Amino acid sequence: MKIPGGEAYLRVKGLLRKGCLHTVCQEARCPNLGECWGEGTATFLILGKVCTRGCRFCAVETGKPGGRWDREEPSRVAAAAAAMKLRYVVLTSVDRDDLPDGGAQAFALTLQALARSIPGVRTEVLAPDFQGRRASLETLLLQGKPHVFAHNVETVRSLTPRIRDRRCSFDRSLEVLRLAKKILPGQVTKSGLMLGMGETKEEVLEAMEELRAAGVDILTLGQYLQPTPRHLPVERYLEPSEFLDLARMGRRMGFAHVASAPMVRSSYQAALAYERARSSGRPETHGSAPA
């Protein structure tokens, strides 16, 4: 990967610093930071940078945020996105189990602020599981109306207890993705897995089948990279041909778009994935009433 630099990269960095904003690009040590920032795009990390969960693969800080969040953050995110002239904005957050709604209202308010500040903007959320609460999902989806709702299962079923925080569950993640479709029929949904953590190909295909059965439209598959020595080590580096093979299988399963390559991450080329999902004939019922 190229070392981050250039005029566009420095402009994005400056705007984020000026707005006192966080990005998952920085906090999760994403290898695509230089490329994305160089193109003037970033994934905003809302609700602070301290997560209430501690997954073994994740570089984001774990701690106790204390039930607080910055009410001015939505307007600052919208102002920064407008200054960056973004047409497609991705929002994600740490897990906030200390908040009654898991942070769903913060997502909704930020999405509303973006819609006011950037007419015609497309939005994507990479959301936590909100402990499976339907009310939180309804708040985010019905008040915020994102164009894409994403939630990652992260790994295969057998590795979930060892790799993800004990409060996470493969079945709960699937149910969250199913619920998004029930709450907002036609909602484009997305999920992803990191590979190279000890899973078998058969387990990956099984996870893909379960995601498709849950109605997921967009799938991302990427190589897990160990962010620090204290995190889970890489078991295996997959060959690029293996990622291409999985992409072909995913398309045969019926996914509208599959992004599968070593450096693919959840939000990588997110706008392209959304457009391909739309062009596949999936109906866009953005803003429909709940089921």
Kindly report the backbone phi and psi dihedral angles of residue 257, in degrees, each rounded to the nearest multiple of 5, phi listed first: -150, 135
- Across residues 54-80, what is the average pLDDT? 91
Q: Where are the beta strands (DSSP E) in 178-230?
A: 188-195, 218-223
Percent of the residues in the chain that have a pLDDT greater than 70, as a whole number? 82
140 CA to centre of own chain? 14
Mean pLDDT, range 115-138, rounded to an integer:
96
Q: Does residue 29 surpass a pLDDT of 60?
A: no
The predicted pLDDT at position 15 comes to 63
pLDDT level of residue 290 (50, 70, 90 thresholds) = very low
β-pair partners for 150: 126, 190
Furthest CA-CA distance within the chain: 48
Window from 13-27, 89-103, 116-130 with minimum mean pLDDT: 13-27
Class of domain 7-279: alpha beta
Alpha carbons 123 and 13: distance in angstroms, whole number: 21
pLDDT of residue 130: 97
Structure tokens at 220: 């991302």
Find, among 192, 74, 63, the residue nearest to 126 by Cα: 192
pLDDT of residue 22: 55
Q: What is the pLDDT of residue 32?
A: 54
Q: Which of 16-20, 53-57, 160-164, 251-255 has the lowest mean pLDDT?
A: 16-20
Q: What's the rounded mean pLDDT across residues 160-177?
A: 95
Kindly state the DSSP code that residue 126 receives in the 8-state scheme: E
Q: Model confidence over 148-159: pLDDT tens digits? A: 999 999 999 999
* Strand, helix or coil for residue 165: coil
Per-residue pLDDT, 117: 95
Q: With cut-offs at 50, 70 and 90, classify the pLDDT of residue 9.
A: low
284 neighbors 247 (Cβ within 8 angstroms): no
Q: Which residue has the higher pLDDT, 265 or 251?
A: 251
Asked if pLDDT for residue 124 goes beyond 90, the answer is yes
Render pLDDT for 195-245 as a digit per residue (tens, 0 to 9).
999 999 999 999 999 999 999 999 999 999 998 888 999 999 999 999 999
Question: Predicted confidence band at 12 (pLDDT cuts at 50, 70, 90)?
Answer: low
Q: Where are the beta strands (DSSP E) in 142-217?
A: 148-150, 188-195
On whether the CB atoms of residues 164 and 58 are closer than 8 A, the answer is no
Chain mean pLDDT for the chain: 87
* Number of continuous H segments (helices) and E segments (strands) in the chain: 11, 10
| pLDDT score recorded for residue 28 | 46
Sheet holding 188-195, edge to edge: 22-23, 43-46, 88-93, 122-126, 148-150, 188-195, 218-223, 257-260
Q: Which of 40-44, 195-199, 253-257 is least confident?
A: 40-44
Express as a percent the part of the chain with pLDDT over 90.
Answer: 66
Quote the pLDDT of residue 241: 97
Domains of the chain, by residue range, sit at: 7-279
* Pairing between β-strand 43-46 and β-strand 22-23 as defined by DSSP bridges: antiparallel
